[in-house]
Structures are given as structure tokens and as C-alpha cells.
Structure 1
Amino acid sequence: MNITQEKIDDLNAVVKIKISPEDYTEKVDKSIKEQAKKSNLPGFRKGMVPAAHIKKMYGKSILIETINTLLSENLNKFLTDSKVEILGQPVPVMDDSKDFKWDGADEFEFDYEIGLAPAVDITITSKDKFVQYNVKADEETLASRIKNIRRSYGKMSNPEVSADEDVLYAELAQLSPDGSVFEGGINSTGSIRLDLVKDKAILKSLTGRKKDDVFELDVQKAFDNNETVIAKLLNIGEEEAKDLKSNFQVTVKNVNRLEEADLNQEFFDKIFGEGVVTDEAGFTAKITEEIEGMFKQDADRKLQNDMYTQLTESVKMDLPDEFLRKWLKATNEKLSDAELAEGYDDFAKNLKWTLIENKIIKDNSLEIKYEDVFATAKQRLDAQFKMYSPAPLPEEQLAEYTATFLQEKDNANRIFEEVKAIKVFEYIQSVATLDQKDIAYNKFIEMN
């Protein structure tokens, strides 16, 4: 077998593989004999089918399978041994002029296009500057969070008329275009949360409502076409909610109001534990600390995104774009030309970042250890479990779940890539200059 590489330019090459009968004859004969031992054909005892008969019936398919195996194994070995850094995977060159007989005497030649990884020139120094935002709780955000917490621990009351943050517990009946109740249509009993109503005119019409009031409601307009909210209200699927055009007749059964809990010691102890907080100032400080901790995660994502954007734009490298488009089409049969054109720039940008990551890891000997992958996977699973139950899982049980989770190749690869990104971002932060900047949360949100 003869394998050679012909370089077309700095980013493209062709690998040529020549296979002669001596490369495959012995393997084909062995496969035929094994097939003969396993075959159960009419007129022959099981395992006693002559090899010549198997060759006549299945020789061509066995030969094709053998050639494909040889190509796969030797192409990958050649690229590995030659230390050729490629992008994507080799793409076979279609050549209609080659007419193989597949008779066991052919000399085969197959060509594969490959895209070569470009050289990446990047060194992070203190001259690389990024802004690290310290996001602070603005008065509106803090007040909203405090209000939600107080309502969560508050008491339910039933006022005579509704205000703009109350809940109308009501029956809803789908209407026909003529305004009559649609027979066989959607009928549901649900809670209309006024704090979720986006249309100001509709919100105004829903305040001042009382028990037994009947009125018409455009749910799509009221909730700004939010299929999640509408689906929950009407007890239907989100797809059905998304396409829903009808108005609804609403019959109010009750007005519910969640009164805010008093800021007293009983309330503080329920939230933080006995004696941890003793006054309103301490309560406010604790809530501020809590939400600014959540803001830090948003700020970290912003910093990482800024690093990604700045470095992918500043590090100049060319990609074998024509080859990559061809490879994407070859490996995604359902990918249309329009979809490829629309998504290619983002794909190329992400690929550039991967090359930058790999260069930083290699040049700075950054290690990605299994214990890091395990710890990250464990954190992610722990967070998922806490969404369903605040009680923490026993450490031993969580570790068992994590080990099982990482046995799935896709899960392990995803967490590995996450840890890899974390290592690279941590390295950049340790070397680059980070300009600290305080910013209110409402102003921070406007930047994103």
C-alpha cells in the first residue's frame, strides 16, 4: 500500500492511497472462509458451504467492505503518524473516470481532500486588556427581589376587587369568531397573573374586577404571545398555544392577593436561620449579597464573551473555507445551501476559537485532569438535582451518579470541553490586564 500527501497550498492538501491485490487478497480470503463457516444456505449443511460458493455470492461485497476498512484504518494512521493537523475530516474525491471491476485483481487509487489547520500566533500578555464588571444591585432590582421574597412568605387574601399585581382565578372558554362560546373548544380553569400581563390597556381593564365578572380576553395580546404562560393558563401544549388565535370568555371565580410578609424576627429566622439577621438593614444587606453573587455569574460570562470576541477578531488566521463548506455539506446531508451560507461565519468563528484554545493550552502546558472533569460534572448534576429538591444528595450517591453520567461519551466530551474552556479563560485572566468597573445591574443588562 502506498500513501502520499500532495500539498496544494498552506491550507489544502490531497492524500492519495494506492491499494494493490497483495494488500487485500489475504484479508478477503480470510473473510470468505469465516463467512463460509457461519453460513446456513439451502442445500448445504451449516458451516459446510464451500468457500468458492461464498465468493461467488458475496465476494464483491466482502471485497468492498475490506477495501473500506483498509482505507479508514490506514488513512487515519497516516495522518496520525505524519502529525498532520487537519480540520474536519478527509473528504473523498469523486472521480467517475475510475472504473473498478471489483474482481479481485484491481489496483485501487483513492484520493481524499484534507483541510490543514493554519498556524496560530498568539501570546497573551499584560498588554491584552479586558473590562471586568462588578455588577451592583440597583434600587429597582433590589426592591423587586425583596418584594418577591416577602410575597413568597406572605399570606393569601381575597380582596373584593383586583389590583394590578393580583391573581384572577377564573374559568376560561374559547370563543368563536362571532363571539359565541366555541362548542368543543378549549375550556380551562386557571390563574390569570396580572403581573405577567404586558399590554397596559388590558392590564388596566383587569384591575377593579370582582367575583362573577364576565368579560372577553385576548390572551395573545395580554401576554405578548408568550406561549409558555398561555399554555400554563389554558392547560394546553406550547405548540398549540403558539398558534392559538381565539379570544376567551373569562368568568372570575375569585380574586387572590398575596400579602407581603412583615419584616420581623420570625420572617428573618425562616429565611436565614435563627438569629443570623436581626433587623431590616441586615436583611437588605443579605439580599444584596445574594443577588450580587448571582450577578457575578453574569459578569463572568460577559468577561468570557469579551475575551472570545476580542481574541477571535485580533488573531489573524485563514481557514480552508471552501474545503470546510464542502465537508459540512458532506457530513450533513440535510444542510441546505441557504443554511450553510447563513451559519458558516459563526462556525468559522467558533473553529478559530478552538484553534486559539488549543494553542494556549499547548504553549502553556495547561493540564485538563480527570478529577477536574469529574468535579465539574458533579457540580452540574448537583445544581440540576437542587432544582427539584432543596435537600442535598448524600455525597456518595452524587459521586455515583457522576461516574455513571461520565460513562456516556457525549456527556464526558461536553464536560471536557467545558473544563477546557474554563482553564483557558482562567489562564487569560491571570496574565491579561483586567480593568475593574462597578456598574448597576440595570445598566449592565442594557449592554447585553
Structure 2
Amino acid sequence: MQVTETLAEGLKREIKVVIPAKDMEAQMNVRLAEAKDKVRINGFRPGKVPVAHLKKMYGKSIMAELVNEIVRERPTKILSERGEKSATQPSVTMTEDEAEAEKILSAQADFEFTLSYEVIPPIELKPTDGIKVVREVVDVSDDEVNEQILKIAESARTYEAKKGKAANGDRVTMNYLGKVDGEAFDGGAAEDAELVLGSGRFIPGFEDQLVGVKAGDEKTITVSFPADYPAANLAGKEATFDVTIKEVAAPADLELNDELASKLGIESLDKLKEIVRGQIEGQYGNVTRQKVKRQILDQLDEMYKFDTPQGLVDAEFENIWRQINTDLAQSGKTFEDEDTTEEEAREEYRKLAERRVRLGLVLSEIGEKGGVEVTEEEMQRALFAQLQQFPGQQKEILEYFRNTPGASASLRAPIFEEKVVDKLLAEVDVTDKKVSKEELLADDEEGSEAAEKPAKKKAAPKKKAAAKDEAAEAASEEAPAPKKKAAPKKKAADDSAE
């Protein structure tokens, strides 16, 4: 086999591979000899079929198998011998001329093909002890815990029927019939529907017009469906609802005690407070970690400057660009609405794609050199988490991960990345700073608001597996997923009144 480099330009490489016809024929003869004792052909005793006859019958099919195996297996071996890693799957090109292909399969011509790929650039790791980050820490107060418990307890609140007019916070039980242009519409009717006034469950204006009603009242309410209402046949239209009030009930007081905890399925109030405090601390901790991670990545971005494989950058850019355009279409906005142009947005997102690929490669190298590994147990936990997100589709999800090349990398990459960040946090200079929850969340909210605009927004990556699949999810904290429109809360009869 002859291997000749025909292009070495930046990170791009082209390799010409030539396997002489005599070598291909020799491999074919070996396989024919192995098959001699196995095949059964009428007119010949087992093991007595002449090799020449076997070659006539099966030679071309065996040569085709050899070609496929070479194309599938040799590129990896060639790159390994060259000490290179391809950024993406190498492209293989070979003759498309039928006559020439026929000669190759007949061992009358050398088998030639070309490998085209981009190499992962060598990365010389730099000391990380010069990286300095500030870790914002929030102390969770008892008042905040109690406030959160009361919000959770709303689901366990009881209501007592009352005489008199309904006020915000009261629950009304009613029958209603909705009409558009005088005609009832599907999903616009319900009986014994319960609604807490002021909850915002129904479409704007509906609940406000129920304030002041009493049991036994009949009332016609006029409202307009929002322009972005999920049901297209109702969006933006005016509707009337004939409402009959069956009961008005006032909310019972909520008291923080063991009885309330019991209603929520917890053995005691102290245990409930412990759980809620842990949840709040976890939420703040996630924000803190993302902000610290962002600081680390920003400094790594300043430390490392090298050319990035354009194949990876192109793939990353396409992922981002596709998500941006999807989000704009869903919001009904244009780039001009966001004070930018398509050309400016493309330029900015390509820079973002380059940054993310570069940081992904750096994190990958840090992890590899630092011995970071993802265990089978961690992979199983990640797979289980995926299965929980798709109830009823567990079988399909399992088959997807078993049968889709590179699918497991989408589970491994974020785990690997977080473990690399943990490693860096143990090495860099971290200063803790006590802040209020408002201070912690203010910067995060500002970042989220900025992310809503195409000029600033960053879409979450979904990269295909490459030579270093850890790069697939690198710098993921930079990429908040775009906001989606809220799904309808119900599919029941009172759906259209929400």
C-alpha cells in the first residue's frame, strides 16, 4: 500500500492511497481458499471446487467486500500511523467510472482512493493557576423558605363555600358556553369548572369580569383571544361566554405546621423546610456554577488562540443559525426587529461558533491529559434521565442510543465537560463572595434578556460525534435554549377559556 500526502494546507489534508492490484488479488485468493471447504456447488464434492471456478463465481463480490472493508478501516489506521486526529469523519473519494471500477474488481487495476480531512490542531496546555474567578454565594433565609413553602402549599389549600360576592383569590365553580360570531366552538364549554380568580389560568379579561359575582348569577362575558393563541381558529377573535355561577368559595388560611407538611406528603414541617431549603440552594448553586464556568471559559478563550477546523465550525454555525431562524419564525420577528441585519448576525454567530469549537477542543485536551473519564455508571444515569423525559417511549429511546452511531457521545459529552470544569475549579484561584439573591439573579436575568435578541442569542449545540466528541457540548453554558411559546395548559373542555 502506497500512502502519499497530496495536500497540507493549514489544517486541511489530502492523502492518496494506492493498493496494487496484485495485493488485492492476493487478499482475494486467501478468502477464496478459506471459502473452498465451505461452499457447496452442484457437480463438485465438498472441498474439491477448483479455485479458478470459485474466482469466476465469487471473485468480484469478494473484491467488493475487500474494497468496502478497506474504505471503512484503513483511514483510521492511516491517521494513527501519521499521528493525526481528524476533526470529522474523513471524506473518501474513489473512481466513479464504471469501466475502471470493473477493472479494480477484476484485479486488473490498482485500487486508488483519496482521503480528505481536517486535523485537530495540536494544543499545548498552559498553566491554569493564573485563572481567577469570583464565586457568588447566597445565604437562603428562613423567610424565603417559608414563602416558598406557602407557594407549594397552594396545591393543598382548601376552600369553604361563602355567601356574597367573589373576590380575587376566591374559587368559583361554574358552567360556561363559549361562542364566536354567535356559534359555539369546540372546547368552549364546561360544567362544574373550578377557577381561582387572579390565577391567570384563563385568557386575559375572563377572570376580571367574574369578580363580584355570587352563587346563582348568570353573566355573559366578552373577551378576545390573544393573537398568538395556540388554536389558530380562535386566535385574535372576540368571543362571548355564557356563565352560570354555581358556587363561590373563600380560601382557607394556610398555616406552616406539621399538618400542612402531612398534606404535602412530608412527615414534618422541619423535614419540609429542609427539603425546600435544599431545593432553593440547589437552584442558586446552579446559577453560581454557570457564572463561574462562564468566567473560566472567558479566560481560557483569552489564553488559547489557534486555527479551528472549519468543518466543525460550519456544523456548529449551522446548528446555531437553524435555531435562531426557528426562534424568529415562532416569535414572528425579523432581524431588523432586533436592531441588526442578517449579515451582521451571521458574522457574530460564526465568531460564536469558532469560540465554542476552540473552547471545546481545549476542554477536551485538558480532560484527556488530566485523566478525566466518564464511567459506565454515569452513562447509565444519563440514559435513565433521558428515558424519564419521554414516558411511554422508553423502548424507542433505547433503540436509538443502541443503533445510532455517535448517539452515546451526546450523553457522554456534557458529563465529561462538567468533570473537566470540576477539575479546573480545583486548580484555579476561587474567591467566594456573599451576595443577595437579587444580585445573583440580576446578572443572570440580564444575560437571559440579551440572549433573546438575535444579535446576542446563542443556541444550544447538537453536534455530531467527531474525533474528540467532548467538543460537541463545549461551552454549553453560553447557549441558553430559545424561549418556546407556552403550551396550552389543558386539552379539556375549558381549554379555550384559558
Q: TM-score, normalised by structure 1?
A: 0.68
Question: Which residue is equivalent to 1:230?
Answer: none
Aligned with 2:287 (options 280, 292, 298): 298
* 1:210 to partner: Cα distance: 4.6
Local SS of the residue matching 2:415: helix
Rate the CA distance shift 1:116–1:441 in 2: closer, same or farther, 3 A.
same
Say if 2:89 is the partner of 1:84. no
Match of 2:153 among 138, 150, 154: 150
| Unmatched tracts of structure 2, length 5 or more | 327-345, 392-397, 445-498
Name the residue aligned to 2:256: 263
Q: State the match for 1:418 in structure 2.
A: 414
What CA distance in whole angstroms lies between the structure 2 residues aligned with 1:137 and 1:84? 51
Taking structure 1 as reference, are residues 107 and 297 closer, same or farther at Cα in structure 2, changes over 3 Å only? same
CA change 1:65–1:285 in 2 (3 A) is closer
Partner of 1:21: 21
Name the count of aligned residue pairs.
401
Partner of 1:123, secondary structure, is coil
CA 133–76 in structure 1, closer or farther in 2 if over 3 Å, else same: same
Counterpart amino acid of residue 267 in structure 2: G
Q: Does 1:164 align with 2:157?
A: no
TM-score by length of 2: 0.62
The one-letter amino acid of 1:5's match is E
1:28-177 counterparts in 2 under 5 A? 28=28, 63-93=63-93, 100-103=100-103, 104=106, 105-137=108-140, 144-159=147-162, 161-171=165-175, 173=177, 175-176=179-180
Q: Which residue of 2 aligns with 1:233?
A: none
Counterpart Cα distance in 1 of 2:167 and 2:48: 88
Q: CA deviation at 1:134?
A: 1.4
**What percentage of residue pairs aligned between the two structures are identical?**
19
Q: By how many angstroms is 1:17 displaced?
A: 0.9
How far 1:112 sits from its partner (Å)? 1.6
Q: Which residue number corresponds to residue 371 of structure 2?
A: 366
Distance 2:285 2:79 in 1: 44
Q: Which residue of 2 aligns with 1:205?
A: 209
Provide the secondary structure at the position in 2 that maps to 1:109: strand
Provide closer, same or farther for how the CA distance between residues 96 and 134 of structure 1 changes in structure 2, counting only shifts above 3 A: same
Alignment of 1:149-298 (within 5 A): 149-159=152-162, 161-171=165-175, 173=177, 175-176=179-180, 178-182=181-185, 187-188=189-190, 191-192=194-195, 194-197=198-201, 201=205, 203-211=207-215, 212-220=218-226, 225=229, 241=231, 244-245=234-235, 247=239, 249=241, 251-252=243-244, 254-255=247-248, 258-267=251-260, 273-274=267-268, 276=270, 287-288=276-277, 290-298=279-287
The residue aligned with 1:352 is 358
Q: 1:107 to 1:51 in 2, by over 3 A?
A: same
Letter in 2 for 1:273: E
For residues 318-357 of structure 1, the aligned pairs below 5 Å read 318-321=307-310, 323-324=311-312, 347-357=353-363
Q: Which has the higher helix share?
A: 1
Give 1:90 deviation, angstroms: 0.8
Contact preservation (8 Å) 1:151, 1:260: no
CA contact (8 A) 1:173 1:185 kept: no
* C-alpha RMSD of matched pairs (Å): 5.1
Structure 1, residues 364-390: CA drift from partner, whole Å, max 9, x if none? x334263xx4157448848987999xx
Structure 1 regions of 5+ residues with no counterpart? 228-240, 278-282, 389-402
Contact 1:119 1:317 in 2 (8 A): no
